[in-house]
Structure formats: C-alpha cells, structure tokens
C-alpha cells in the first residue's frame, strides 16, 4: 500500500509539473498548450458527465483562445507572486468575455451547468 501511495504521489507531482507553471512566482497555472486538458481534468475530477464536459468545453474553448484567459489546476493559485482564489459565480460566457475584451486577466478553475447555462468558477486577477 505504501508503494502505491508513493507512486500516486509521484504521479500527481509529475502531472502538476507537466501541465502547470510552478516556480517562485506562479503555482497551479496551466501552461498555455495545456489549458484545455487541465480544465477537462478538473471537470472529470468533479465527476461531471461526458455530456456536461463536452458542453462546458465547447463554450469555454472560445474563452480559452484569449491569451489573457488562464486556467488553474487548483482553487487557490499563485500568479506573479500574488495568491488568488476562485469564486463561485453565476457568471456565464458573456460576462467572462467582457472582462477579456477589457484586457483583464481571468483565471478559470471550473464550471457548472445550471438551468442549461454554463456558469464559471473564476477570478479576475489584479496583476
């Protein structure tokens, strides 16, 4: 059992190092090329159905194309030396895109579907 725990710890650690920026200033922010994968992993970890994941990714994918739209692997993360945490919101695509178009940096952690609408857990970063 202890060998399995050590393997799992190394697996998790390796996954974090593969998918995220992790240095003195940043922690838990997905590397640009892995934004989609990190969000999908989070949604799967939260036991979203395949249909929910597809619906969320189809919409969120439009947001993730913005350079100032980041994804975090953790609800609490570090960006440019500051610590942030994401918030539960009822904000949908339009609200997030408005922030992005105003050149604000946002970090998405997860999303839910409520009454047929995708709503996001995210933060507006003041960096």
Round to whole Å and give the CA distance between 55 and 111: 10
Residue predicted with more confidence, 15 or 100: 100
47/106 Cα distance (integer angstroms): 24
What mean pLDDT comes out for the span 26-44? 92
Q: Which two tokens stand for residue 29?
A: 């922010």
- The pLDDT tens digits for 66-114 are 999 999 988 888 888 888 888 889 999 999 999 999 999 999 999 999 9
Consecutive H or E run containing 21: strand 20-22
Total-model pTM: 0.85
pLDDT for 51-78, tens place per residue? 999 999 999 999 999 999 999 988 888 8
Q: Please say if the pLDDT value at position 11 is more than 60.
A: yes
CA separation (Å) from 54 to 48, 71, 112? 10, 17, 12
The residue extents of the domains of the chain are: 2-125
**What span, in angstroms and rounded, lies between the C-alpha atoms of 52 and 58?**
10
Tokens read off for 63: 């947001």
The Cα 42–Cα 72 span in angstroms is 9
């Amino acid at each position: 059992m202890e060998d399995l725990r050590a393997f799992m710890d190394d697996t998790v650690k390796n996954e974090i190092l593969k998918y995220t920026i992790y240095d003195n200033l940043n922690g838990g922010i997905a590397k640009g090329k892995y934004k989609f994968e990190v969000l999908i992993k989070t949604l799967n970890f939260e036991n979203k159905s395949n249909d929910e994941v597809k619906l969320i990714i189809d919409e969120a994918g439009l947001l993730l194309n913005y350079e100032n739209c980041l994804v975090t692997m953790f609800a609490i993360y570090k960006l440019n030396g500051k610590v942030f945490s994401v918030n539960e919101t009822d904000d949908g695509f339009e609200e997030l895109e408005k922030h992005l178009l105003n050149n604000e940096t946002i970090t998405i952690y997860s999303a839910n579907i409520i009454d047929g609408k995708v709503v996001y857990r995210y933060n507006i970063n003041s960096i």
